Structure 1
């Protein structure tokens, strides 16, 4: 099975991004900052698939999400006119946060080019503090990820 086929099978959401001239730097490949921006675009696309507002207040609720931490590992360059496929999934849910994992693949070379992880925290933008995840968010995540995934953790982290 190809890398692309595996990505499409293992990740419930796949975001597609064509490499344009503006994404290429002086080294003739996609700049490392662009990878991080595309991972952000993939996260927003995931939230849209869930039917959740991307910005707090969009639904009339001051509770939204905020990126608390992220890491990116670059494994290969991407080049002009290639297509990046970004698989995204949630790997763990806690009372006030969840962990996301992304894998970026070059469609043309059938090769993994970057991996990313992020911690997303529920945040009350009126009270300016973290809060618990909304129960409907957790339900929607579980529906999208599939019933066979056991994402909820009973451990608490800071």
Structure 2
């Protein structure tokens, strides 16, 4: 079941768990899950290829992020990170990142995030460009439009 969930995701990547990511509680420190989610989110937008990540024109900024911790990851392990868009609004994109423990073959965390379109020249929020919308709708269909 885990493999079929991973295969359905538009973006997926694997990262090794590092010894230094563990804390005194003998599991990966919570902040690392947010870093892994960031890797998934940025990896998704790089793969999508239509969003400017050089921060010179209209790009993305993180508006909020949460994380539901389900299972404690420990070293040694490798995590698989998936990221998909779940809602597309006129001014923001809501995404969902899932983090899986490969060693335990189970989900370890789910992180949702909202990114806003931001005009880095004008220093203000922007509408989602049509090229972004078209690329995302091509992958997920119209059902994600809100």
Please give the TM-score of this superposition, normalised by the length of structure 1. 0.85
Two-structure CA RMSD over aligned residues (Å): 1.4
Asked whether the 8 Å contact 1:7–1:87 carries over to 2, the reply is no
How many residue pairs get matched? 145
**Partner of residue 136, structure 2:** 141
**Following superposition of structure 1 onto structure 2, how do residues 1-158 of structure 1 map, counting pairs within 5 Å?**
2-3=1-2, 5-51=3-49, 52-57=51-56, 62-143=57-138, 145-147=139-141, 150-153=143-146
Distance (whole Å) between structure 2 residues aligned to residue 84 and residue 111 of structure 1: 10
Asked whether the 8 Å contact 2:52–2:58 carries over to 1, the reply is no
1:69-118 Cα shifts (integer Å, max 9, x gaps): 11101011111121111111001111111100111111121111101111
**Unaligned 5+ residue runs, structure 1?**
154-158
Distance (whole Å) between structure 2 residues aligned to residue 146 and residue 71 of structure 1: 22
Alpha-carbon distance, 1:137 to partner? 1.1
1:10-43 Cα shifts (integer Å, max 9, x gaps): 3111121110112112222111001001101111
Please give the TM-score of this superposition, normalised by the length of structure 2. 0.92
Distance (whole Å) between structure 1 residues aligned to residue 41 and residue 54 of structure 2: 12
**Unaligned 5+ residue runs, structure 2?**
none
Distance (whole Å) between structure 2 residues aligned to residue 90 and residue 56 of structure 1: 21
